[in-house]
Chain A
Amino acid sequence: MIAMQDAAYGYGSEPLLSGLTLELAPGSFYFLTGPSGAGKTTFLKLCYAELLPTSGRVSLLGQDAGSIGRDEVADLRARIGVVHQDCQFLDHLPTEENISLPLTVTGRATPAHQNDLAELVAWVGLSARARALPPELSGGERQRAALARAVIMDPEIILADEPTGNVDWEMSLRLLQLLVELNRMGKTVLIATHDLALIRAAKSQVQARVLRIKDGNVAIAGADL
């Protein structure tokens, strides 16, 4: 899965995160919390090799992130699904083509996948909006499309960065529901959020562990959450 040994990262000379030593247990459900600017997005970027640790070691699915080539990084992205904080769509392609983009760029888009795609689009409740361009979607629709894209490759790990960032409470619960379903299918889920209410809502449905970023370090949160 994802493991770190004394990993550190800093954008400038000052490290933002340091002394990260942890290992995500397969099939678990994690929350990552901390105030805005604490480094949640930065931590997730270390988890999908968008950033490499400035010191220490990050191991992703058994591979040392610091020593693999660009092609291996590309291949890792097929096994680690990511919902980005700002979604990251290709604005000129319809939503369903954005959702199937991971299949397209790895040459795995076959006509047989069309059915799976339609099913997935329906699962996130976007059937009626499948042909719309991403800029025409609402915030919640974008988040659901991003989630669909993150899971289309059937990844082992799903990282979600503020998946409920700009949606109402009802939509937040719906997105949480989708992530819990994925976890029940055996996938490791890590959600970065500063929404404590969401974490509390999740605790009634799933055995969730909470990681908190504090003073540049990530620790298992205590019982106060």
Chain B
Amino acid sequence: MSVAGDAFALLRGDVQADRVVPRTGQAARLSVLTSAAMAFLAVFAMALSMASGRLADRWSSALAQSSTIRISAPAAELEAQTWAVLTVLEQTPGIDSARAITEEEQRALLTPWFGPELPVEDLPVPRLIEIVETPEGYDADGLRQRLAAEAPGAVLDDHTRWRRPLVEAAGRLRLLGWISLGLIAVATGAMVTLAAQAALSANEQVIRVLRLVGARDAYIARAFVRRFTLRTLTGAAAGTAAGMVGIALLPRADAAASFLTGLGYSGLAWLWPLMIPPLAALVAFAATRIAAFRTLRALQ
């Protein structure tokens, strides 16, 4: 019988076929429990991949389009150099807008570190100019050379130096998340295969009787495949539900902990973990089917 036919017969449900193989209480409970645990882990691995993916995207796109110029100069020259820099920036292709950070903004930036009483105007704090680039970007080396000539106190900080390893780390983390998901799928397949093989050899006598009364291999295999697929589906559904509840109950990571960017799912992303139970069932279906036909071929 075809794979599709088997899958259909599985969905339609064959209560009689289910009864011909005796139930084994403990093995059943263990395989439900293991698939629940695997699904629970999968929910977190998936959340990790998606969160680090978001992190990588945010750092590489949002930060890529903004950079800063820092001007350190004696107070008397500061104003003039600022104008010089802004003029240079106006003439530079690839720059969308540029503006000097005001004293109030600068104070707001420094308050968390030095307290509200800080007399910013009296400190030799560098002047900051924020640049937003166009999607095409600008030529950083060219801009540096021009700045060196026009405003010697200006330093371009295009963030790439520290951004690149972070983006790379986040990308790596995402990859690790996907690898974990793959490993979880493989482990589930291996676990189901072992459980199915154990069930098949424990029921050798049952299989012999079924054959004597005229059962085809496809029928016998289906009785086992159906049972293990449904068990895995049940366990994975419970594990996924538990994992999703766990993630929903995580404290909201707002501005303060934006590094974590919230490990949770948001919006439609909640649909992703819902794919775990059907995928687990698919893995179990394939693993049991292969194990069953291999064992049945080997018997006799």
Residues of chain A at the chain B interface (Cβ within 8 Å): 50, 70-71, 74-78, 82, 84, 88-90, 92-93, 97, 101-102, 104-107, 109, 149, 153
Q: List 15 A-B contacts (CB under 8 A).
A: A70-B216, A74-B214, A76-B214, A77-B214, A84-B212, A88-B212, A89-B209, A101-B213, A102-B213, A105-B20, A105-B210, A105-B213, A105-B214, A105-B216, A153-B214
Q: Which residue of A lies closest to B14 (CB)?
A: A107
Interface majority SS (helix, strand, loop, mixed), chain B: helix
Q: How far is the CB of B202 from chain A (nearest CB, A)?
A: 13
Task: Determine if A102 and B214 form an interchain contact, defined as CB atoms under 8 angstroms apart.
Answer: yes
Top 4 closest pairs, chain A to chain B, by CB: A105-B215, A77-B214, A92-B22, A102-B213
Bound form: Cα–Cα A145–B214 in Å: 17
Q: Which residue of A lies closest to B206 (CB)?
A: A90
Is the CB of B58 closer than 8 A to any CB of chain A? no
Task: Determine if A70 and B217 form an interchain contact, defined as CB atoms under 8 angstroms apart.
Answer: yes
**B215 is contacted by which of A88, A93, A106, A153 (Cβ under 8 Å)?**
A106
Q: How far is the CB of A60 from chain B (nearest CB, A)?
A: 13
Bound form: Cα–Cα A223–B114 in Å: 122
Q: Which residues of B contact A75 (CB under 8 A)?
A: 214, 216
Task: Determine if A74 and B215 form an interchain contact, defined as CB atoms under 8 angstroms apart.
Answer: yes
Bound form: Cα–Cα A92–B205 in Å: 12
Is the CB of B211 closer than 8 A to any CB of chain A? yes
Task: Determine if B216 and A78 form an interchain contact, defined as CB atoms under 8 angstroms apart.
Answer: no
* Most chain A CB inside 10 Å of its own CB: which residue of B208, B212, B214, B217: B214
Q: How far is the CB of B34 from chain A (nearest CB, A)?
A: 25
Is the CB of B138 closer than 8 A to any CB of chain A? no
Bound form: Cα–Cα A186–B250 in Å: 76
- With A93-B20, A97-B19, A104-B20 already in contact, the answer to whether A82 and B212 are too (CB < 8 A) is yes
Task: Determine if A77 and B212 form an interchain contact, defined as CB atoms under 8 angstroms apart.
Answer: yes
Bound form: Cα–Cα A50–B208 in Å: 10
Q: Which residues of A contact B265 (CB under 8 A)?
A: none
Task: Determine if B19 and A93 form an interchain contact, defined as CB atoms under 8 angstroms apart.
Answer: yes
Q: Which residues of B contact A97 (CB under 8 A)?
A: 19
Q: Which residues of B contact A107 (CB under 8 A)?
A: 219
Q: Which residue of A lies closest to B210 (CB)?
A: A105
Bound form: Cα–Cα A88–B210 in Å: 9
Q: Which residues of B contact A70 (CB under 8 A)?
A: 216-217
Is the CB of B16 closer than 8 A to any CB of chain A? yes
Q: Which residue of B lies closest to A109 (CB)?
A: B16
Q: How far is the CB of A88 from chain B (nearest CB, A)?
A: 5
Bound form: Cα–Cα A109–B214 in Å: 13
Bound form: Cα–Cα A85–B213 in Å: 14
Q: How far is the CB of B28 from chain A (nearest CB, A)?
A: 14
- With A90-B20, A92-B22, A104-B20 already in contact, the answer to whether A71 and B210 are too (CB < 8 A) is no
Within 8 A of A (CB), among B153-191: none
- With A77-B212, A92-B22 already in contact, the answer to whether A104 and B16 are too (CB < 8 A) is yes
Q: Which residues of A contact B212 (CB under 8 A)?
A: 50, 77, 82, 84, 88
Bound form: Cα–Cα A74–B213 in Å: 8
Q: Which residue of B lies closest to A108 (CB)?
A: B214
Within 8 A of A (CB), among B82-118: none
Bound form: Cα–Cα A202–B208 in Å: 32
Q: How far is the CB of B109 from chain A (nearest CB, A)?
A: 75
Task: Determine if B214 and A78 form an interchain contact, defined as CB atoms under 8 angstroms apart.
Answer: yes
Task: Determine if B213 and A77 form an interchain contact, defined as CB atoms under 8 angstroms apart.
Answer: yes
Bound form: Cα–Cα A107–B15 in Å: 12
Task: Determine if B213 and A149 form an interchain contact, defined as CB atoms under 8 angstroms apart.
Answer: yes
Q: Which residues of A contact B206 (CB under 8 A)?
A: 90
Q: Which residue of A lies closest to B23 (CB)?
A: A92
Bound form: Cα–Cα A106–B19 in Å: 14
Bound form: Cα–Cα A77–B212 in Å: 7
